């Protein structure tokens, strides 16, 4: 047989990973043992697995970060609600913006202040448990707090059974006396919905301005 004056090149398919091989109908033993074809496929498979793991970890971190941000947003809203119950919103916003406490002080020419307390509160407390006292006051203050929003007055503080609101501050209000009178009448009206736990009779309050 005459010698051929030619060279023969045996090609090897380039595969990224085992999944690509399966799609083309090849297997690892179909690749040449005399080059790095098998090593490249196996290395590609390992790299794909590591990349997928890294992506999964990043996705998990992203979800955890989103959940943390959601919880942080909820806590910030709760903090704002508590802060606004302690000091006026305008003052709180000024302090947050970097103002000193002295710069938040204001002078108001005319305001109207309302005070209220429960009639025979000490006597009522002597007949009921401490938890009943807390529940009664919480129910009463919840009703009054709703009225402050409705009538546009500001709750200054609560001490025991005493409830104090003001109109004309911290936001100027030309009709502050009228607003406080409306608030007082509304308080007297809604207090009838609450009962003395010891007698079942409606509570009564004293209101002054």
The domain that holds 180 is classified in CATH as 3.30.70.1230
pLDDT tens digits for range 66-76: 999 999 999 98
The whole domain housing 152 covers: 110-208
Domain match, 128 and 199 both: yes
Ranges of residues in the chain whose predicted pLDDT is under 50: 1
Could you tell me if 123 and 201 lie in one domain?
yes
Total domain count, the chain: 2
pTM of the model: 0.60
HSE of 1, CA atoms in CB hemisphere, 13 A: 2
pLDDT in tens, 155-201: 988 999 999 999 998 888 899 999 999 999 999 999 999 999 989 99
Question: Which parts of the chain are beta strand (E)?
Answer: 112-118, 154-159, 162-167, 205-208
One domain for residues 118 and 190:
yes
Question: 201: buried, middle or exposed (CB in 10 Å: 19+, 13-18, 0-12)?
Answer: exposed
């Amino acid at each position: 047989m005459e010698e051929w004056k030619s060279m023969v090149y045996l090609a090897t398919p380039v595969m990224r990973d085992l999944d690509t091989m399966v799609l083309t109908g090849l297997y690892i033993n179909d690749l040449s043992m005399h080059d790095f074809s098998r090593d490249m496929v196996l290395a590609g498979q390992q790299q794909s697995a590591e990349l997928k793991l890294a992506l999964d970890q990043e996705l998990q971190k992203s979800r955890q970060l989103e959940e943390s941000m959601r919880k942080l947003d909820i806590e910030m809203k709760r903090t704002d609600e508590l802060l606004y119950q302690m000091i006026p919103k305008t003052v709180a916003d000024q302090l947050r913006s970097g103002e000193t406490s002295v710069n938040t002080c204001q002078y108001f020419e005319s305001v109207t202040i309302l005070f209220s307390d429960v009639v025979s509160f000490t006597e009522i407390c002597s007949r009921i448990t401490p938890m009943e006292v807390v529940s009664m006051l919480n129910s009463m203050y919840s009703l009054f707090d709703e009225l402050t929003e409705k009538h546009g007055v500001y709750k200054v503080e609560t001490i025991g059974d005493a409830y104090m609101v003001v109109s004309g501050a911290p936001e100027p209000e030309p009709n502050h006396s009228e607003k406080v009178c409306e608030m007082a009448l509304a308080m007297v009206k809604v207090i009838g919905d609450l009962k003395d736990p010891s007698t079942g009779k409606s509570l009564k309050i004293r209101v002054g301005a």
